[in-house]
Amino acid sequence: MEESTATIRVLRGQLKLESNERKWAERDIRAALKYAENIIATVPLSLLVLNAGLRVISANSYFYDTFKVTPEETVGQFIYNLGNRQWDIPRLRDLLEHILPEHTTVEGFEMTHDFPSIGRRVMLLNARRNRELDQSRFYGYRRCNRAQEGT
């Protein structure tokens, strides 16, 4: 009986230690996530994160300001449906559906598009596929300039 009681005490101690370790790990993960979110928030480039199904997971404030959209009308949406289907752009489809699946990284993909609400824009897109999860895709717009008239 004494041996069983001692074994139970040891097991309780191990469970408590494992529980504390799990709590510390969760705290560290939350801190890392907050750290990454703060970095993304300060990047002066439009940033869009999509899942494997091409739905928006998140975007930064620079994206919302540049494209005159809100998180409510962006997050969870299929990329091509954004802004009344303004993002259903053949060159973007080519990048997302053909080029990126073949290459993990794309840099300097130039695209010009006329957005009804903000006018013509020339964009240089950088894209990364998350190899570890193969669920998220990260897109950064290095440049989003108003196109010159007549170009």
Give domain limits for the chain: 1-42, 44-151
- What pTM did the predictor assign? 0.71
pLDDT(61) > 50: yes
Collapse the DSSP code of 43 into the 3-class scheme (helix H, G, I; strand E, B; otherwise coil) and give the result.
Answer: coil
Which of 68-72, 90-94, 140-144 comes out lowest in average pLDDT? 140-144
Give Cβ neighbours of residue 129 (< 8 Å, ≥ 6 apart).
100, 101, 104, 105, 137
pLDDT, tens digit, 9 for 90 and up, residues 29-39: 999 988 988 88
- Tell which wins on pLDDT, 139 or 116: 116
Task: Please give the DSSP secondary-structure letter assigned to residue 97.
Answer: I
- CB-count exposure of residue 57 (10 Å: 0-12, 13-18, 19+): middle
Percent of the chain with pLDDT over 70: 86
| Confidence tier at 149 by pLDDT (50, 70, 90) | very low
pLDDT of residue 150: 45
Whole-angstrom Cα distance, residue 36 to residue 93? 28
Collapse the DSSP code of 63 into the 3-class scheme (helix H, G, I; strand E, B; otherwise coil) and give the result.
Answer: helix
Give Cβ neighbours of residue 101 (< 8 Å, ≥ 6 apart).
129
Instruction: Give the CATH H-level superfamily of domain 44-151.
Output: PAS domain (3.30.450.20)
Taking a C-beta distance cutoff of 8 angstroms, is the pair 47, 37 a contact?
Answer: no
Whole-angstrom Cα distance, residue 122 to residue 139? 15
